[in-house]
Amino acid sequence: MKRFHVHVAVADLDRSIGFYSTLFNAEPTVRKTDYAKWMLKDPRLNFAISQRGDKVGVNHLGLQVDDGEELVALRDQLERADRGLVEQVGTACCYAKSDKYWIADPQGVAWETFHSLGTVPVYGEDRPDRAIERSEASACCKPAACGGEASSAKPAASCC
C-alpha cells in the first residue's frame, strides 16, 4: 500500500514542529536537531520537515511503498512518463536507508518514490564525525538531475 510523502524545508524547526503537531494532533515519530517526521495513518501520510539550508517551502513530493515489488512497479510507471529517471539504491537520506527512484514533473517539482530499508544515524551520506555545513547537507533530499545537489545520483539525461 502506498503512503503519500511531503518534505518541506522550514526556517524554524521548533516553531514548525509545534505547528504541525497541532495540525496533525500528533507528535513527530522521528525528531532530530534538524529534522522531524510524522507517519500518519489518517490520512496515510509521511510528512517530513527539515532545516538544512535549503530554500524554504516544499522540497519534494513522493510515494512511499511497503516493499521492493511495489517500488519496481512504480519505477515502470515513471519510466512511461518519459521524463528521465534517477535511481538511488541503498542510499542514506533523512535518517533512513532506502531504495529510490526520482523524477520531475513538467513544472520541475521533484517526485521521489521509495522503499525504506531501515534507519541510519545521519541525515544523509554525511559523516557523523564532522560538522556539516547546511548547504552541503541538504543535498540528499533531491538528486542533482531533479534540482538538488546529490552526488550519488546517476542522472538520466532528460530529468528536469
Domain residue spans in the chain? 3-146
**Cα 44 to the center of its chain, rounded Å:** 16
Task: Please give the pLDDT value at position 154.
Answer: 37
Task: Please give the pLDDT value at position 150.
Answer: 42
The pLDDT tens digits for 49-103 are 999 877 899 989 999 999 999 999 999 999 988 788 889 888 888 788 889 999 9
User: In this structure, which amino acid lies at residue 102?
Assistant: W
Tell which CATH architecture fits domain 3-146.
Answer: Roll (3.10)
Question: Which residues touch 101 (CB under 8 Å, ≥6 apart)?
Answer: 71, 74, 75, 78, 85, 86, 87, 88, 112, 113, 114
Band (pLDDT 50/70/90 cuts) for residue 7 is: very high
Higher confidence at residue 93 or residue 31? 31
User: In this structure, which amino acid lies at residue 40?
Assistant: L
Tally Cβ neighbours within 10 Å of residue 12: 11
The pLDDT tens digits for 97-125 are 889 999 998 888 999 999 988 887 777 76
C-alpha grid cell, residue 124: 544523509
